[in-house]
Chain A
Amino acid sequence: MIGWRSTWSIYTRELFRFLRTAFQSVLAPVLTTSLYFIVFGAAIGGRMPDLGGVDYGAFIIPGLLMLTLLGETTSNSSFGIYMPRFTGTIYELLSAPIGVAETLIGFVGAAMTKSLILAAIILLTARLFVDYSIAHPLLAVLYIMLVAAAFSLFGFILGIWADSFEKLGIIPLLFLTPLTFLGGTFYSINMLPKPWDTIALANPIVYLVSGLRWTFYGSSDVNIWVSFGITVAFLAACIAVIAYIFRTGWRLRA
């Protein structure tokens, strides 16, 4: 039994928190995306060949989308649960008649919604710089939602694991961002010399970027089903970890 009113309360409150900083939340991705397009699209992209028949400016859109999506989704979700722990307001969540389902749908749903809004903003900003069309728009939206859900859950775990702001920032900063940059955001891994093209396949982000790129242009470095399978497996692993956290009360209940 899911308490939908409780879920809705968490969801709307998290979105309200997002709206409090809406200006910054919207301006930051617009500015960042614009800068990437100016640097990589206009300045460098003009000298780059088409990649698989896709103009370089258009080629980097799925990668840029994934770069922002992973960072924002993880940080939104991790802050969403870390802040109540840090300020002590977690007492209200723990004492309410709600379980793992309400908490997750509320927090993760809000983080996903924010991510989808950001994705839309990035795509609109990209349109100002480069002409592109999406081969499988519905699949693109579904894939973005799937990745957003997986990384919202990942952020949620991070927010429960972290016991300091330093730890909260260390995973996105030291792992997520570098792996995304090295995951084919700005290039095809087929462009890498051997053995780096093979080593790159050990980077899980490669599959995410590649999967999204397939939904955009119908071709990618990795088979779409492999990308999809890895994304779903990551999502399932996160759900399993969260189920364990709630069952044992790890870092939540004394």
Chain B
Amino acid sequence: MHEPILELDGLSKTYPGGLKALDDVSLTIRKGEIFALLGPNGAGKTTLIGAVCGLVRPTGGTIRAFGNDLATDWRKARARIGLVPQELSTDMFEPVIHAVAYSRGLFGLAPDPARIEEILRSLSLWDKRDTRIMALSGGMKRRVLIAKALAHEPDLLFLDEPTAGVDVELRKGMWAIIDQMRDKGVTVILTTHYIEEAEQMADRVGIIRKGQLIMVDEKDAMMARLGRTEAHITLEEPLKELPRSLAQYPLELEQDGMALCYRGGDGTGRGKGEVADITKALIASGIDYNGIDVRESSLEDIFVSLLGEKEEQAA
């Protein structure tokens, strides 16, 4: 049902200095999905991308893209992979349209001005086609890198921190671009520091830490499984102990009995329902309250808590 487009099996990379950047990473990427690779700085995200794109030589494991082993059939595989690097690396003296046309030719495709125009228009760069890249804003430069990566019409696109250092508006513009790619059937693997970005865009999420992939799951399933609801109910009068009618709920008294804290449920919204039931039970028990603050945990909370757990396990 989900055709694999990229398969990593036991992928490892140890740098000459001894740093283990990737440690036995196995991962399958499905056709057409948007996969977010999350991890703190130095976790191995860029090394993983580099290993697939030919920038890094793995020291162990195998990579198969579109059914081709990258160690042997790398030409076929690389022709279908695009990369937008983290750094704004491009010949700054070159006009935009030359840079994009060059990328298409470099990947062995015949010139296609109509296709280049379509790409530049979709990224709002057509008006700047004859402008030297050095004269563009940071956000535009990043879009030029995306245009270059799309010039050879890749089926699999890597975006390494596509919104690093760009403002909120541009970030949202970038999300719209990624959405366009999804609509065109391009499989996207993105790394990001902005968990909100993964929450917004990704179908699946992988969390990498110290070169190890510690979790891979559907974003919604991960949030359902690891998500929590937290509610604080401020009471009119202090309680000395929890009433029996509320014993079934994961509640704690806080602030010398002036508040009830609920931590429970999952990422499906079950917690919110329980909070509603608690408020009804409070009223039925004659306990008055004057404020409720309910908060669903975000992917960021899950990410931080997962990394924290692993740190504790390691310690």
Contact = CB atoms under 8 A, between A and B. Distances in A.
Interface in B101-158: 102-103, 105-110, 148
Contacts of B90: 87, 89
Contacts of A16: 98
Chain A binding surface SS class: helix
B89 A97 contact: no
A13 B106 CA distance: 10
Interface stretch (B78-86, B207-215, B234-242, B300-308): B78-86
A92 interface: yes
A13 B83 CA distance: 20
Interface residues of B, number: 33
A137 interface: no
A98 interface: yes
B50 interface: yes
Interface string A96-112: 11110000000000000
B93 A5 contact: no
B89 A88 contact: yes
Interface residues of A, number: 27
Given A20-B93, A253-B54, A98 B85 contact: no
B106 A254 contact: no
Contacts of B75: 1, 3, 97-99
A102 B106 CA distance: 9
A254 B90 CA distance: 20
B91 A87 contact: yes
Contacts of B91: 17, 87, 89
Contacts of B79: 97
A6 B106 contact: yes
Contacts of A94: 53-55
B57 A254 contact: yes
Contacts of A13: 98, 102
A10 interface: yes
Contacts of A196: none
Contacts of A249: 57
A9 interface: yes
Given A6-B108, A97-B79, A97-B107, A91 B74 contact: no
Contact of A253 (B56, B93, B103): B56
26 contacts: A3-B75, A5-B105, A5-B110, A6-B107, A13-B102, A17-B91, A87-B90, A87-B91, A88-B87, A89-B90, A91-B83, A91-B89, A92-B83, A92-B103, A94-B54, A94-B55, A95-B53, A97-B74, A97-B78, A98-B75, A98-B108, A99-B75, A253-B54, A254-B15, A254-B47, A254-B57
Rank and list the top 5 A-B pairs by shortest CB-CB distance, nearest first: A9-B105, A88-B89, A97-B78, A95-B53, A97-B79
